[in-house]
């Protein structure tokens, strides 16, 4: 009897096939003082397979001026580097990406083969900032300008990449 009651209880917690579970928004906490200024402002990754092999690059740029890049494209020779950049360069990067439309872009509705996927998350500084993430395969239009600016930053800060 106890076992059958337990099974019924567990089954009642499982959603029916095709039924969607509604997620309730978590209330935001009261704003806190931003005592440690070290939030990520730009998070970029380029991942996927190509005819030439895998691509796996990750870049994070923080409001403190810390920039980190990791390239795991060759699993036998992973590369990574950290740099401290002038805060003006961080602000310029974030501002240029915003001007290019990074907060407004949407994911494409079509897929592409043999091209790595680029994903950008851009955040506004401060504890009450807003963020936006979008992905793209081809550097066309606005995504081309965004990708060019990120590649320019990487070339300036991490020339070995």
In a domain, 76, yes or no: yes
pLDDT at 6 over 60: no
**Partners of residue 43 on adjacent β-strands:** 60, 121
In a domain, 45, yes or no: yes
Number of domains in the chain: 1
pLDDT at 45 over 80: yes
In a domain, 16, yes or no: no
Q: Tell me how far apart the alpha carbons of residues 58 and 35 are, in angstroms, rounded to a whole number.
A: 27
pLDDT at 144 over 90: yes
CATH code, domain carrying 70? 3.30.1560.10
Q: Tell me how far apart the alpha carbons of residues 54 and 111 are, in angstroms, rounded to a whole number.
A: 17
In a domain, 22, yes or no: no
Per-residue confidence band for 13, with pLDDT thresholds at 50, 70 and 90: very low
In a domain, 130, yes or no: yes
**In a 10 Å sphere around its CB, with 0-12 CB exposed, 13-18 middle and 19+ buried, how is residue 100 labelled?**
buried
Tell how many helices (H) and how many strands (E) occur in the chain.
3, 6
Per-residue confidence band for 56, with pLDDT thresholds at 50, 70 and 90: very high
The b-or-e profile of 26-65 (16+ CB within 10 A means b, else e) is eeeeeeeeeeeeebbbbbbbbbbeeeeeebbbbbbbbbbb
In a domain, 52, yes or no: yes
CA distances from 124 to 9, 41, 97, 151 (A): 45, 6, 11, 20
Domain range for 142 is 39-157
At residue 134, the 3 state secondary structure works out as strand
At residue 133, the 3 state secondary structure works out as strand
In a domain, 8, yes or no: no
In a domain, 128, yes or no: yes
């Amino acid at each position: 009897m106890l076992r059958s009651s337990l099974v019924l209880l567990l089954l009642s917690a499982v959603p029916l096939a095709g039924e969607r579970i509604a997620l309730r928004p978590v209330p935001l906490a009261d704003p806190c003082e931003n005592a440690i200024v070290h939030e990520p402002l730009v998070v970029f990754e380029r991942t996927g397979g190509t005819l030439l092999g895998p691509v796996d690059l990750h870049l994070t740029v923080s409001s403190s001026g810390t920039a980190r890049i990791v390239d795991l494209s060759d699993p036998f020779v992973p590369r990574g580097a950290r740099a401290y950049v002038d805060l003006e360069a961080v602000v310029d990067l974030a501002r240029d990406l915003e001007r290019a439309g990074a907060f407004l872009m949407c994911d494409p509705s079509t897929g592409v083969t043999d091209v790595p996927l680029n994903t950008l998350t851009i955040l506004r500084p401060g504890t009450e900032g807003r963020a936006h993430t979008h992905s793209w395969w081809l550097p066309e239009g606005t995504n081309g300008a965004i990708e060019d600016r990120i590649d320019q930053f990487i070339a300036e800060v991490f020339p070995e990449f």
